[in-house]
Amino acid sequence: MPDLTSKINVTFDFAGRQLRRLIETYPDYLPMYTVNGKWKHGGESWTNWCEGFLGGQLWLMYQHTGESYWREKAEHYSRLIAHRKDDRDVHDLGFLFWSTWKRWYDMTGDPAVNDVVVHAGRTLSLRFKEKGQYLRSFVSDESLFIDIMMNVGIIFYAAQHTDDAAMLRKATQHCQTTRKYLVRGDGSTSHEGIFDTETGAFLRQSTHQGWRADSSWARGLAWALYGFGTAYSFTHDARLLQTAEACANFYIERTPAPGVPPNDWDEPDPARPYESSAAAIAASGLLDLAKLTGNPARARLYRDYALRILDTLTGPEFLAIETPGWEGILKHGMYHERKGLGVDESVMWGEHFFLEALSKV
């Protein structure tokens, strides 16, 4: 795909300019979403889960260019979040440390850097609820989020590095509980599960960022597609691969031809047609899944579909390159529509997984 290759190079050049401007204009600022295309504003964050995605992009820029400027900034922005390895308030330590310190370790093999990754994984495992067998969300003890599937990988990693069977059990059980209660027969996913904290019984499906409790929030499904694939790569449990593929098939069947879903597939006549961050996450997850599935036809399908998404996202409707004054890279992302946060804007995780997917290509 020679055209996509040149679009990828244009996108990385553009991303480099946008990122350099961001970190030089607002040093040490860790944004989450833009407002009218601007990163600096006083909008609320709801929860603090995005602080690794800027550092993650800086590592990807270093990987792509080999320039010491990016390496130095990537280390700096990783150090800025080191204290979060002890954060017991969020379920997002995978997002924070896999994007930053894990990439740092992969590039250097420095055991002190790896210790931070393992430490963060151990902290995250402390969220496990024996009653219900899941890692609780940031919201409350009774709440399980589909998003946690993107974070549980760091617990598998920490458990395998330290040979900790108890930690491994927590990660494994979390995946099985999520698979049982949040993934439906058609491969769609629910955002949240609510449990009885006394008995551990599952009570109902629910949502915060989707349309309805029984609908299909696109980003949640993209987290599941990617996260179950990652969990399979640690465990080789065929059930997890099967679940990742069910989610992938749902995404492919239900999304319009260019590959970008709305915020929720089931919402009738959504006010905005796109949730580009879900597409970026799905593209990155599908590229992994193409390597994980043992089926050559499905491998081709997943890779071709991921390339189609990336061809769309590097085009003029989504890439902000032709939008003067826009500070992000990828337009038409969505954070929390009901709360009015980051609606039709650039979002930090969208930028991160977009660059990650392009770097995999």
**What is the closest distance, in whole angstroms, from the C-beta atom of residue 209 to ligand GLY in the complex?**
6
* Beta carbon nearer to ligand GLY, 147 or 356: 147
**What is the closest distance, in whole angstroms, from the C-beta atom of residue 92 to ligand GLY in the complex?**
7
The Cβ of residue 291 has, within 10 Å, a number of other Cβ atoms equal to: 12
* Beta carbon nearer to ligand GLY, 300 or 338: 338
43 to 62, contacts with ligand GLY by CB under 6 A?
A: 49
119 to 138, contacts with ligand GLY by CB under 6 A?
A: none
* Beta carbon nearer to ligand GLY, 70 or 95: 95
**What is the closest distance, in whole angstroms, from the C-beta atom of residue 124 to ligand GLY in the complex?**
15
Count of helices and strands (H, E) across the chain: 13, 7
Classify 192 as helix, strand or coil. strand
Query: In the stretch 215-234, what mask flags binding to ligand GLY with x, by CB under 6 A?
Result: ----x---------------
With CB atoms as reference, the residue minimizing the distance to ligand GLY is 147
211 binds ligand GLY (CB under 6 A): no
Q: CB within 8 A of 155, min separation 6: which ones?
A: 94, 121, 122, 124, 125, 135, 167, 170, 171, 174
**What is the closest distance, in whole angstroms, from the C-beta atom of residue 333 to ligand GLY in the complex?**
10
* Beta carbon nearer to ligand GLY, 224 or 310: 224
Exposed e or buried b for every residue in 236-250, given b needs 16+ CB within 10 A? Answer: ebeebbebbbbbbbb
Q: How far is CA 332 from CA 35, 87, 250, 345, in A?
A: 12, 31, 22, 5
What is d(CA 277, CA 283) in angstroms, rounded to the nearest whole number? 10
**What is the closest distance, in whole angstroms, from the C-beta atom of residue 45 to ligand GLY in the complex?**
10
What is d(CA 134, CA 131) in angstroms, rounded to the nearest whole number? 8
147 binds ligand GLY (CB under 6 A): yes
* Beta carbon nearer to ligand GLY, 219 or 331: 219
* Beta carbon nearer to ligand GLY, 55 or 94: 94
Query: In the stretch 160-199, what mask flags binding to ligand GLY with x, by CB under 6 A?
Result: ----------------------------------------
Q: CB within 8 A of 41, min separation 6: which ones?
A: 34, 35
Q: Which two structure tokens, joined as six digits, stand for 262?
A: 């709305």
Q: Identify the residue whose tokens are 């769609």.
A: 188
Nearest to 124 by CA among 174, 76, 74: 174
The Cβ of residue 184 has, within 10 Å, a number of other Cβ atoms equal to: 15
33 binds ligand GLY (CB under 6 A): no
* Beta carbon nearer to ligand GLY, 209 or 284: 209
User: How many chain residues touch ligand GLY (CB under 6 A)?
Assistant: 4
71 binds ligand GLY (CB under 6 A): no
Per CB under 6 A, residues contacting ligand GLY are 49, 147, 209, 219
